[in-house]
Amino acid sequence: MDDLDRRGIQIVAVIAGRNDFTVVHKLRRRGHTYLRVHKYDPGANLIDSITVKDYGERVFTPPVLEIIQSEDRNCITVYNDAERDKLEVVCFRLDKMQVLWDKVIELETPDRFEPDPYEMALSNTGDFYLISEKNNRRAKIENHSFHILHINATVDDITQAPLGEYLTIDSKFAIDNLNQRLTGAGIWGDKNKNRANGTFFFSISLHNNAAQVLHYEGFDEKFLSILRQRDVDEGSKGISDSEVQQLVLRQDGGALLIAERNHEIQRGTAAGRGFLRDGMRVIVDYYYDDMYAIAFSSDGKPQWKTALHKKQYSQDDEGTFSSYFLVKNAEHLRLLFNDEIKYENTCSEYVLSPAGEFDRNGILNTMNQELRLRFRDALQLNTSECLVPSEFRNRLRLVLLRF
């Protein structure tokens, strides 16, 4: 029975297949919350459906559902993190419309010094990895480590991977299904977490916990001076406001890390509009500036570093029109972005080669087009096309870009 037109429906994800598409959604009925999956043919006719999980009656902690997809998009895990001390995770295979496993993970109380409570990754075979970081502070740096929880239908074990003497600031992880490894990369700070002084690469076999790779590398002065477009003095080494945005796996077991400099500033003003009780209005400024890409070989050593300059500023829009979108194909990567955040502007791209060389090209002028492109919400359709939503004065349009 197709229940997508009923009340109490929340779409969790829409996943495209080769000859069909799947809608993962949450349904509330008679006080219970259900996780359901519907599969449709290209004409949007329902061809299969299943109730994956009944979360029961939860008045005070209703399920908050998020999804992780495998690289081939055939396996998904849906997790509920509404409760602080546990994580409910169910793994589902889309081609067979089959639940692979359903487990509850008891979580350790997160350390207030850690950058994020955990990261997640899912293999094409339904193996789920929960990565947390422990003792990421100077006082306990000798015990600094990753805790990697591995779960599937029959396995539930933890691996500890020592991280050495640096303070990690941010990282991203992914399953390398081709080389059967869990791969991560990130940035680290020498003295504190406010300024990145280098990058690190981490990799571990999915089948042999002893086969670990960990390599730290500092930023050289030449790269820093190119990124910051000025000479680097002793008191300003490193890169402030860095955030790891993406990790792109390579076939040789290496990876490409893409980071972006961004920050926000809150300020109050008595400008005569939107006053709060104290007579002040809170304004938030969003800055999304330069990007940089770093390629790692399979042994963790950086092969090249590239600085990609841009400068974006906006106010009170949650950075909706800022940042970039990455288009992948076998020959090169394209990073698409707005040159400025305003109603009429130009859009550009960086075309990045496997060797780290790049070109910057203008791709679109929105003058008199009534377009404001939300690149960070774009969708890649194939190796040469992507779909970008545009939001202009409460009007939503879709823009197809073909390269």
List pLDDT tens digits, range 303-344: 999 999 999 999 999 999 999 999 999 899 999 999 999 999
pLDDT for residue 37: 95
Q: What is the band of 107 on the pLDDT scale with cuts at 50, 70, 90? A: confident
Q: Give CA torsion, residues 320, 382, 244, 366, to 10 deg.
A: -30
Question: How many CB atoms lie under 10 A from the CB of residue 172?
Answer: 20
pLDDT of res. 1: 44
For 252: left if phi > 0, alpha if psi spans -120 to 50, otherwise beta; the answer is: alpha
Neighbours of 184 (CB within 10 A): 26
Dist CA 118 CA 173 (whole Å):
11
Q: How far is it, in rounded angstroms, from Cα 32 to Cα 8? A: 11
Phi/psi at 180 (nearest 5 deg)? 55, 55
pLDDT in tens, 354-385: 999 999 999 999 999 999 999 999 999 999 99
> 263 pairs with which residues across the strands?
287
For the chain, state the CA radius of gyration.
23
* 219 in Cβ contact with 239 (< 8 Å): yes
Helix (H) or strand (E) holding 226: helix 221-228
Residue 271 — pLDDT band, cuts 50, 70, 90? very low
Distance between CA atoms of 65 and 79, rounded to whole angstroms?
A: 6
Is it the case that residue 154 has pLDDT exceeding 50?
yes
Q: What pLDDT, in 10s, does the model give residues 155-208? A: 899 999 999 889 999 999 999 999 999 999 999 998 778 899 999 999 999 988
Round the average pLDDT of the chain to a whole number and report it: 90
Q: Tell me, what's the pLDDT at 243?
A: 95
**pLDDT for 229:** 82
Strand order in the sheet with 385-392: 379-382, 385-392, 395-402
Q: Which residue would you say has higher pLDDT here, 89 or 137?
A: 89
Q: Is the dihedral of CA 230, 235, 237, 243 positive or negative?
A: negative
Return the number of other C-beta atoms located less than 10 Å from residue 131's C-beta.
20
